[in-house]
Amino acid sequence: MALKAVHVSDVPSLDQVPENASVSLFSSRFSTGVEMNSNRGSFKIPKFLVVGHRGHGMNLLQSSDQRMKAYKENSIVSFNSAAKFPIDYIEFDVQVTKDDCPVIFHDNFILSEDNGSVFEKRVTELSLSEFLCYGPQKEPGKKGKTLLRKTKDGKIVNWNVETDDSLCTLQEAFQQVDPSLGFNIELKFDDHVVYQQDYLIRVLQAILKVVFEHAKDRPILFSSFQPDAALLVRKLQSVYPVFFLTNGGTEIFYDVRRNSLAEAIKVCLEGGLQGIVSEVKGVFRNPGAVSKIKEAKLSLLTYGKLNNVPEAVYMQYLMGIEGVIVDLVQEITESVTDMIKPPKVDEDGEKLNEGDGDREVKTKPEFSQKELSFLLKLIPELIQL
């Protein structure tokens, strides 16, 4: 593939960013927000964040849990469905087509069927028009190409969900999704491809162009598993925070920077990134890393299936983790609201005990410092290696 070199100077710099571009990390839906200065040390997340994974949640097409097939992931309908709940951000995956259009799609390859044969094409090798011809079409009466998906165990299944939607671009997300909802934009790259810097710059330039033109007051947070992409997007702009995504040691990669929380801290400190997004098991296996991340003045969010378990989310809150990316948006936002909400007080300013007042009584786990210390020692033994 021929790569076109693009100079860093071609990417919009701070003095080219529209005046109304948001520098707030925190959504105006639930807070006045905080400013992120270019000095990483002054960056701080003001509250426990809940982020909708690929919108209302990722699709697990072989799952018996219908909630995992309710809305087409990474779609406008999924994003706006998630926006109905008190979440702060939605997370989604952005790739760039061969004609430089940022589109929202998780998998590296798009699968379809024609005359009984299954074929796959790399998303980044499609033009925008080719990409959009898969799945439901916006134009009435027009039928798109069938959309299939390969599961982790290699099976190919129909991408059937309860509420389907067409594929979309990053620009459409900015234009059609509740403007108060923050965007966690994952810069998506293939784990098995070695990318040249000039190619990464071209891709990031295309994404930043759309962000700078359409973000307005919307909170934005960039993240990527690709360490060079994360470092580059931080160099190319200083308006929005950049987080390094890591499996936290739960998987091993050729690039050692991806293999532990210790390496993730190094990447962030050397590149001036603002935080880490780790697989939650990586944190639970190594809870001591949380204090090291805090000492480095980095923020910490997590992702993973355990984040769909309210007790696991509450445990992270107690550990000082600053937010979670979740699939079960309704269930977890309800649990977080109940578990983490400030105590209610009576007319005299006295704290109400459980069962007092006219509110619904719900219980939440409560731990002493000694019990919390014991749990932090126990959890790594409970997480399967």
- Model confidence, pTM: 0.85
113 three-state secondary structure? strand
pLDDT at 6: 38
Side chain identity at 40, as an amino acid letter? Answer: R
Strand partners, 150: 156
Apex CA 203: angle with CA 205 and CA 16, to 5°? 5
Kindly indicate the confidence band of residue 277, based on its pLDDT and cuts at 50, 70 and 90: very high
Contact between 59 and 151 under an 8 Å Cβ cutoff? The reply is: no
Given this model, what pLDDT does residue 16 score?
47
Q: Note the pLDDT of residue 382.
A: 58
What is the 8-class DSSP label of residue 194? P
H helical segments located in 10-93: 76-82
45 pLDDT tier (thresholds 50, 70, 90): confident
Nearest to 282 by CA among 240, 333, 327, 245: 245
The burial class, CB within 10 Å (0-12 / 13-18 / 19+), for 52 is buried
List helix spans (H) across the chain.
76-82, 128-132, 170-176, 197-214, 227-236, 261-271, 280-285, 288-295, 310-319, 329-340, 369-382
Average pLDDT, the chain: 86
Burial category of 294 from C-beta neighbours within 10 Å (exposed 0-12, middle 13-18, buried 19 and up):
middle
Read off the pLDDT of residues 342-355 as tens digits, 9 standing for 90 and up: 666 666 656 555 55
Of 113, 97, 117, 114, the closest CA to residue 105 belongs to 97
Using one digit for the tens of pLDDT, what is the confidence trace for 136-167?
999 999 999 999 999 988 899 999 999 999 99
